[in-house]
Structure formats: structure tokens, C-alpha cells
Amino acid sequence: MTEDETGVDAAIKGELLLLDHEVRRSPQRVAALLHPEFHEFGASGRVWDRATMLTLLEEDPADAPPTKVSGMKAVRLAPDVVHLTYDTDADGRRAHRSSVWRRTDDGWRLWFHQGTLFPSDTH
């Protein structure tokens, strides 16, 4: 496996873990995946930072249906940066998503994320 593939694989694996409700309810597991400078432009329109996200995700409902992921694409922007784009469907709430992962001394971490809602009848 090439270095490019390793970074892409790590970013995709991390992204999918962050969509897992069991992982989301564990501040320790989420903290290991979020970059210290993490920020997000949420599908809700709110801007989130790492500390707020760690607190918010603890409240993720245990009985929430799994989030469906489609169209995952990855591009290596630089040796230490991977950009992911994909769509999610969380019980009918659909969003286009964009994430930037950066390699750190502690591994690959999510540095930036943005979600944009879109209606079910368009793509």
C-alpha cells in the first residue's frame, strides 16, 4: 500500500468511525479523531469547535438509526492532507459533506468538516 493510500484509508476509516453512534457517545474516542484545531460549519448553520463538539456528541441518542453513507470520494491534497466528500442520510435528513483530515504526530485527525442539507428529491 502506498503512502497516499494509507492516508486516504486512515481518513475514510476515521470519518466512518465519527458517524458511528457508539463512537460518537465516547468523548475519548471522538477526541482521538478530532484535531486540536477542529472546526465545523454544521448542516444546521452553526459553527462548532472541538470542545463544543465533544460535549454535544455525548448526547447522541443510543437508539438513533445508523447514518447511511454514499458517494465517498477522497483526494490527497498534500502529503499530510486528505479531503473527503460524501453524502449522508440520517433517517431522511440528507446532507452533502466535506471533511479535511490532517496527519499529526498522533495520526490522522479531522481538522475541518462542513455539512450542507439537501432535499431528498435532488442530489
Any idea where the domains of the chain sit in the sequence?
3-117
Give the model confidence (pLDDT) of 53-104 as tens digits: 998 887 878 788 899 999 999 999 999 999 999 999 998 999 999 999 999 9
Q: Is the pLDDT of residue 111 over 70?
A: yes
Determine if residue 75 is left, alpha or beta; phi over 0 gives left, psi from -120 to 50 gives alpha, anything else beta.
beta
Provide mean pLDDT across the span 25-31. 93
How many residues are recorded in the chain? 123
Provide mean pLDDT across the span 23-48. 93
Look at residue 123 in the predicted model and tell me its pLDDT. Answer: 53
Structural contact between residues 83 and 8, judged by C-beta atoms closer than 8 angstroms: no
Nearest in space to 110 (alpha carbons), one of 84, 86, 75, 89: 84
Class of domain 3-117 (CATH, top level): alpha beta
| Nine cell digits for residue 6 | 494509507
Q: Is the pLDDT of residue 6 over 90?
A: no
For 84, counting Cβ atoms within 10 Å of its Cβ (0-12 exposed, 13-18 middle, 19+ buried), the class is: buried
Contacts of residue 121, defined as CB under 8 A and 6 or more positions apart, other chains included, come to none
For 89, counting Cβ atoms within 10 Å of its Cβ (0-12 exposed, 13-18 middle, 19+ buried), the class is: middle
